[in-house]
Amino acid sequence: MTTTVTPAGRPARSGLENSRRVDLVKPSGTERTAVRTGAVVPRGTRRKKVAKRSQPPRSLIGRIKLLVQVILRRPGIAHLILAAKRFSERLGNQFAAAITYFTVLSLVPILMVIFAAAGFVLASRPDLLTQLQNQIAAQIPGGSSGVGPLIGKVLQSAVDNRTSVGIVGLVTALYSGIGWAGNIRAAVQAQWRPDFDDDQEILQASFIKNLIKNFTLLVSLGLALIVSLALSAAGVALSGKILGWLGLSDIAVLKPVFTAVPILIAVAADVIIFAWVYTALPPAGERATRRALLRGALMAAVGFEVLKFALTFFLPKVTNNATGSVFGPIIGLFFFFNLVGTVVLFVAAWIATSPGGTGDPDRKKPDSVDGAVPPPAVIVPESVSRPKAIGFVGVGTVLGLGLAARRRRR
């Protein structure tokens, strides 16, 4: 056998020896070619490691756990979980309950204003007042004997005192409405600001400034709600008329389309309202990105319309019996206001935890700068006050005199 000497002075291995060395491990493509042809495989050639694929769990529980883990890792689901955690940690349910309380409290003076306005109408139309009294007496068992005349006297008294009732209701509605707007503003800012306890804009501002902001917010929200309700009512009213004008009212295919049009108009109006809410209520300097703002406003608008539909669908079914007719509307309004407040605050937490928001985990704090070197430590000597200095000198003098006297005795 001929031995080939390499430049380093070492004999080169034959093809048979290399093939034996290659066969010790799982051969790669290059090594399999070397074995067939007898070529020398360079010593620096690295073999590719074959990654072992993890076997999926065979049990049903293991597969369910794996599926849940995959779902929870999705960005949208992870964002919802982060928003729910922020909503819970920042007392979202408690703030929603407070909004419900102040909303119901504001309804009483609003009803007083409505009754006063109805009193002005009934004062000019005595026939309508008599008809209303008769209808109320007919709905109450035994109304014609004792309760009916009493209710008639109450209505007559409300009509006679319509001016005073209207003034008191208007002032009370204004006061409670400003408080309601301030509580909504405080609740949204609690979900929005970077720190829950610090940088509270409402506490730092003066009373007059907060009063003006809350009043502006109340008027703006009132106008926005009126516009939204007007658009919804107009969409419902015009959809049927348009079908009648075009002579298409008998076509069943077009009815679902024209039924969906008012809903879409109401959602569009709600998106504008909530976009304004999430722009005006957050703390100054903490605005959301346009994408997060629009997506959050759309979420709140869809949730609000779903709750409105649920209220109008379930409330008539609850008020069929006597007990439901008395307590059903009140309980339904409580649930509706609480759920609306929860939706508004949860969406605020969702926008705050969106990329670039105040609750984004990847957001850099303004105090932390990459690569910043801390300033050198400065040692400042503590200054000794005059009484301390006199005390130290006195103690030293006494000790010195004592040591001197002791030495003299020796």
Tell whether the model's pLDDT for residue 360 goes beyond 50. yes
pTM as predicted: 0.66
Residue range 261-273, pLDDT digits in tens: 778 888 888 898 8
Residue range 203-259, pLDDT digits in tens: 777 888 888 888 888 888 878 777 777 776 776 677 667 767 776 666 667 667 777
Model pLDDT, residue 15:
46
- Mean of pLDDT over the chain: 75
Sign of torsion over alpha carbons 103, 104, 107, 108: negative
Phi (first) and psi of residue 244, to 5 degrees: -70, -40
Residue range 145-170, pLDDT digits in tens: 555 566 667 677 777 888 888 888 88
DSSP, collapsed to helix, strand or coil, labels residue 353 as: coil
Residue range 121-138, pLDDT digits in tens: 878 877 777 777 677 666
User: How far is the C-alpha of 230 from the C-alpha of 248, rounded, in Å?
Assistant: 25
Q: What percent of the chain has pLDDT over 70?
A: 67
Phi (first) and psi of residue 27, to 5 degrees: -75, 145
Beta bridge partners of 5: 11
Please work out, in degrees rounded to the nearest 5, the angle formed at the alpha carbon of residue 28 by the alpha carbons of 25 and 30.
125
DSSP letters for 265-291:
HHHHHHHHHHHHHHHHSSPTT-PPPHH
How many alpha carbons lie under 13 Å from residue 112 in its C-beta half-sphere? 19
Phi (first) and psi of residue 372, to 5 degrees: -75, 135
Model pLDDT, residue 386:
63
Model pLDDT, residue 138:
65
Measured in Å, how far apart are the chain's first and last C-alpha atoms? 108
Q: For residue 110, give the nearest of 155, 177, 162 by alpha carbon.
A: 177
Lowest mean pLDDT, pick from 3-7, 123-127, 234-238, 391-395: 3-7
